[in-house]
Structure 1
Amino acid sequence: MISHARVESSIMRYTHNKQGTRAMIRSSVMLLLSFNISLLSETTAWSSPLPQARGGGFNASVEMVRVPVVAIDEEGIFVTGLDKASFEIKDGGKDHSVDFFVSDADPVAIGILVDISEGMKPYAEGIRLAIERASNNMRPDDEIFLATYGSKVTMLAKPTADKLQVAPTFTSADNTYWQATDRALYDAIELGLSTLERSTYEKRSLLIIGADGDTASNAGELMVQQHIHRVGVTIHAVVLSQRQTQIRNTPSRVNRLQTLPEIVRYTGGLLAQRPRQWGRFVDATGWIEASATDITTYVKHQYLLHYAPQNPPRPGTWRSIRVAIDGNPKRVRARSGYIR
């Protein structure tokens, strides 16, 4: 049974030590991590061809496993500036070295997918501010794009490093927003994955702001799952359902990504689920805005590890992995396995 750690965020505090810069997130917004704070959860890493090596001389045809990770210290503070020698990987109980490494300082590509079905209309202002804050929270070289989905999917802003171009495309949208009765969530994810697949950046994430599951897509669960495997993204979500959505299916069960929280858990992302009371935020607007900011802050602190499994599992089977720093898996937020 998964237990959900709570990351508190919105004001960043930086400290320094011999391990590098550490950033701690503080605030009253609560983000539910889709993995256990002390024991890694049953989430998924990605098996894919190695990307073109940057001077490393690796064969691009070798099958690799991609593992996005975040490093923390005992106080739950982000640890930055680590290199690949800092990480230890066990695949199937065997030690593996990191063959290809992407630093937390490297740029990231992120897509924001917004549910514009009629049930989301009360949250319009919060969504607008969330897009604006999330865009402004990214680093200068990071790329961002924006799409909406209701009965159909629309790309509003193509990938760009010019963050000022993104938010206005949402505020100037036509009046068909908030009129759809259906949600083409899978189709939206497919568009997001296809867009990220073309990115030159190795670190890739999706942030979904929506009500919950799919009701209108042409794409099916299996298509989405296979595409997620190929691209190797982490999907995060701000879920605004009135009801708390239960996660009924484990990541190792194929074709069972039926709800937005299940999709998030499957990819090892962050889940911010609508609270019963808004607390210090008074209403939904501030909570949505802060949640999106916290998720993009987390995304910026990710590393990406690639390694070649010594004895790859059979296709369609689950393989457990463990990532640690100095032998301590509690210092790493990472997925606990993958399906080939």
Structure 2
Amino acid sequence: MKFRYLLLLAALSPLPQAGQAQTSTPATVPAQQQQPAPDEGGPQTDNGPVVIKKKKDAQEPPPPAAPAEEKIKNPNGANYNLRVDNPLVSLDVSVQLDKTKQFVPGLRPAQFLVLEDGVEQKVDTVRMTQTPITAVMLLEFAANNWGYIQDMRNASYSFFRSLRPDDYIAVVTFDLKTHILNDFTNNKDILGQALQSLTIPGFSDTNTFDALYETLDRVSRIEGRKYIILIGSGRDTFSKLTLDKILAKVKATPNVTIFTIGTGAFQNELYGGRGGIGGSIRDMNYLQAQNQLKTFASMTGGLSFSPIFQGELPDVFAQINDSIRNQYVLTYRPTNTKPDGTYRKIKVLLVDNEGHPLKMVDEKGKSVKYSIIARDGYKAKLPVE
């Protein structure tokens, strides 16, 4: 019995670990080998330092979506109006004395009265400008009459000599077809070479209407004020267009002023009025052609000339330059706001403080007559324009 108790006590006693001295003194663990108690929830490793991962930037939660609004036809019963601004009409006006063709400066805004389809318009601004010109010399060069060709050459050279360094000019000739000799340039050497090349004409036909239509179509793509100096007899032979169609094109092309120089005036003075069927037809054709040139000019606010002698040309182009470079620019918003594409007739008058026609006098107090040169109208825009 005693023996069994000793065996049970020996079995319950702890055995010494391997490599550990059998001594009664407890083993001391070095400080560097003692492991601290890990924090709750932290990573636990058998040995080595604790690796702490870099904290990610906190991302703000996206804002909540706006509540969907209820779609109703007329919110809060409100009424809405759509306002459309009227287009601004810009009008070039030249005022000249009838006798001397001198430009009249110094006019005040209150002295201009603009009527559109007979209705008075409120003029917003009036300013006087003197600017360089952008023009096309449209020359009739056809093998029909040498005298007409000489008149054209003399007139074109006179206009060439009146140009300034900042003027841009294109040269276009026409007979059966149009021919562009040079595009817009301010190089007078190029312009002079183009005019010198007009020596031997080709066809004898003069399609004035077609040539003018094509020129209007080209210059309409250029911004700003443009001018066409049409030098020719005004006769038309085989144009595809009629007079009515070319007049409609002239009306529909904005910001273009046409000046015309009629050729053949000297020949008409020599051979015109001789009577007979042939002479009467020739005279009628000449007068009709000159009337067409005057119509082109007057519709666009330009001037028309039919010089008989070459000595008149410097004065002619001096008047043209005076009309082009010195002018008043009027702006107004039309009272007719309908975008119907109709042609609006314009009339410009000069009035005094009481609304009566303005009277002009010279230095001696003698009354002088004057002319107001401006377009006779414009075409209103359509809704899609």
TM range (shorter): 0.5 to 0.7
Deviation string, structure 1 residues 207-252 (Cα, Å, up to 9, x no partner): 111112322223444543343223332211111243475469xxxx
Of 148, 151, 160, 2:176 maps to 151
* CA-atom RMSD in angstroms: 3.7
What's 1:322 paired with? 348
Of 302, 306, 318, 1:269 maps to 302
What's 2:277 paired with? none
Cα distance 1:317–1:194, how it changes in 2: closer, same or farther (>3 A)? closer
Cα distance 1:238–1:72, how it changes in 2: closer, same or farther (>3 A)? closer
Q: Is the contact between residue 62 and residue 308 of structure 1 (CA under 8 Å) also seen in structure 2?
A: yes
What's 2:141 paired with? 116
The structural deviation recorded for 1:89 is: 2.2
- Between 1:204-213 and 1:164-173, the stretch displaced more is 164-173
Provide the rounded CA distance (Å) in 2 between the counterparts of 1:114 and 1:158. Answer: 14
More strand by share: 1
Cα distance 1:306–1:144, how it changes in 2: closer, same or farther (>3 A)? farther
The structural deviation recorded for 1:156 is: 1.0
Letter in 2 for 1:67: L
Cα distance 1:125–1:331, how it changes in 2: closer, same or farther (>3 A)? closer
Provide the rounded CA distance (Å) in 1 between the counterparts of 2:110 and 2:168. Answer: 28
The structural deviation recorded for 1:182 is: 1.2
The structural deviation recorded for 1:154 is: 0.5
Q: Is the contact between residue 69 and residue 332 of structure 1 (CA under 8 Å) also seen in structure 2?
A: no
What's 1:207 paired with? 229
The structural deviation recorded for 1:331 is: 5.4
What's 2:203 paired with? 180
Provide the rounded CA distance (Å) in 2 between the counterparts of 1:74 and 1:260. Answer: 20
Residue 218, structure 1, aligned to residue 243, structure 2: no
Deviation string, structure 1 residues 28-87 (Cα, Å, up to 9, x no partner): xxxxxxxxxxxxxxxxxxxxxxxxxxxxxxxx9854444321134697531347686764
Q: Is the contact between residue 228 and residue 257 of structure 2 (CA under 8 Å) also seen in structure 1?
A: yes
The structural deviation recorded for 1:317 is: 5.4
What's 2:215 paired with? 192
Q: Is the contact between residue 208 and residue 236 of structure 2 (CA under 8 Å) also seen in structure 1?
A: yes
Cα distance 1:333–1:222, how it changes in 2: closer, same or farther (>3 A)? same
| SS of equivalent residue, structure 1 residue 190 | helix
The structural deviation recorded for 1:148 is: 0.6
Deviation string, structure 1 residues 143-182 (Cα, Å, up to 9, x no partner): 211111111110112111223321321212463x1x4221
Provide the rounded CA distance (Å) in 1 between the counterparts of 2:191 and 2:243. Answer: 29
| SS of equivalent residue, structure 2 residue 213 | helix
Provide the rounded CA distance (Å) in 1 between the counterparts of 2:98 and 2:233. Answer: 34
TM-score in terms of structure 1 length: 0.63
What's 1:10 paired with? none
TM-score in terms of structure 2 length: 0.57
| SS of equivalent residue, structure 2 residue 164 | coil
| SS of equivalent residue, structure 1 residue 198 | coil
Provide the rounded CA distance (Å) in 2 between the counterparts of 1:260 and 1:205. Answer: 15
The unaligned stretches of length 5 or more in structure 2 are 1-83, 269-282, 359-368, 380-385
Number of residues of Structure 1 aligned to a counterpart in Structure 2: 263
Report percent identity of matched pairs: 21
The structural deviation recorded for 1:304 is: 3.5
Q: Is the contact between residue 128 and residue 167 of structure 1 (CA under 8 Å) also seen in structure 2?
A: no
The unaligned stretches of length 5 or more in structure 1 are 1-59, 249-256, 279-284
- RCO higher in 1 or 2 (8 Å CA, sep ≥ 6)? 1
Residue 69, structure 1, aligned to residue 93, structure 2: yes
What's 2:258 paired with? 235
Q: Is the contact between residue 130 and residue 290 of structure 1 (CA under 8 Å) also seen in structure 2?
A: no
Q: Is the contact between residue 175 and residue 204 of structure 2 (CA under 8 Å) also seen in structure 1?
A: yes
Q: Is the contact between residue 263 and residue 306 of structure 2 (CA under 8 Å) also seen in structure 1?
A: yes
Residue 142, structure 1, aligned to residue 167, structure 2: yes
Letter in 1 for 2:303: L
Letter in 1 for 2:136: G
Letter in 1 for 2:224: Y
Q: Is the contact between residue 108 and residue 201 of structure 1 (CA under 8 Å) also seen in structure 2?
A: no
Provide the rounded CA distance (Å) in 1 between the counterparts of 2:172 and 2:375. Answer: 30
What's 1:259 paired with? 292
Q: Is the contact between residue 254 and residue 378 of structure 2 (CA under 8 Å) also seen in structure 1?
A: no
| SS of equivalent residue, structure 1 residue 216 | coil
The structural deviation recorded for 1:114 is: 0.8
Cα distance 1:156–1:303, how it changes in 2: closer, same or farther (>3 A)? farther
